[in-house]
Amino acid sequence: MKSLKYYSLFFTAIFFLSSCNDVLEEIPRDRLTSELFYKTKSDALAAVNAIYQPIRTTACMGQFYNAQQDVMSDYSTGRGSYIPVGNYQGLDATNIGRTSGIWIQFYASINYANIAIQQIPNIQMNTTEQNALVAEARFMRAFCYYQLVRNWGAVPLRLEPTTSEKQIAAPRASVASVYNAIIEDLKAGETALPDAAPQAGRPNKLAATAMLADVYLTQEKWELARDKSEQVISSGKYALVEVSKADDF
């Protein structure tokens, strides 16, 4: 009888432990996760807004990227730690660090763009607004790759979110492949971006068209560059600023 009693207690314990498994499995609610986020229009907008943050920092277009480029121009002179770059002496240790940071920030923005492009279509929201946000993410991805390919040539081409360390060591894609991806993203922008940007600094359809003109010009596709430029000019929405004195710049 004693052994029967122990067996009964043993199987009862197993039953209760197994039935409690589902109850004990909790979804964390004290932090943001991909499973809990990307549910609303606000989440979609936040996903797109995140793309801008890395490249706006001092480590990228907030300072170092522009300085590294402009210091080599004929209207600028490098001072202090920028002297080697301004004098076309290459990158010293300081400027190698700055250039590395620029690379990192562009790829951070690209990864945020890839996440937005993947997740926003799953959100229940107005289709036109949804498509516009995806197109904005694609525009920003194209913008980042355009800076990368012109400065580094063949670079890793990431069109999906990076979610594992195993994905970090990606091979370099050909320059042609990178430009093809840029053009496809900008064409999507021409289709789905709004006619008027909802906020200053964010792209609209003609921003995608103007950038396509620049891309085609860089590729020496003269007729395509001319046609895209003509679309922007003939829209009548933009004009060159009249300059009569230095302060007008």
State yes or no: pLDDT of 34 exceeds 70: no
- Arithmetic mean of pLDDT, 131-142: 98
For 179-193, what is the mean pLDDT? 98
Residue 29 lies in a domain: no
Residues 118, 137: contact at Cβ < 8 Å?
A: no
Tell me what pLDDT residue 3 has. Answer: 54
125-131: average pLDDT? 96
> In terms of residue numbers, what domain contains 77?
37-242
Q: In this structure, are residues 82 and 67 in contact, taking their beta carbons and an 8 Å threshold?
A: yes
What is the Cα gyration radius of the chain?
A: 26
Percent of the chain with pLDDT over 90: 65
Q: Please, which pLDDT band fits residue 147 given cuts at 50, 70 and 90? A: very high
Alpha helices in 36-163 (DSSP H): 41-56, 64-70, 83-86, 93-119, 127-152
Residue 112 lies in a domain: yes
The answer to the question of residue 170 being in a domain is yes
> pLDDT, tens digit, for every residue of 76-118?
888 888 888 888 888 889 989 999 999 999 999 999 999 999 9
Q: Evaluate whether 190 touches 205 at the Cβ level (below 8 Å).
A: yes
* Average predicted confidence (pLDDT) for the chain: 88
pLDDT band at residue 29 using 50, 70 and 90 as cut-offs: low
Residue 234 domain-assigned (yes or no): yes
- The domain tally of the chain equals 1
- Residue 12 inside a domain? The answer is no
Provide the token pair at 180: 């093809």
pLDDT at 179 over 60: yes
Mean pLDDT of 1-28: 54
Query: What is the predicted pLDDT for the residue at 19?
Result: 52
Among candidate residues 179, 180, 206, the one with its CA nearest the CA of residue 191: 206
Question: Does 2 map to a domain?
Answer: no
**CA neighbor of 227 nearest in space, from 216, 241, 242:** 216
CATH number at 108 reads 1.25.40.390
* Within-domain flag for 138: yes
- Total-model pTM: 0.83
Average pLDDT over residues 156-179: 90
Lowest mean pLDDT among 29-43, 172-186, 231-245: 29-43
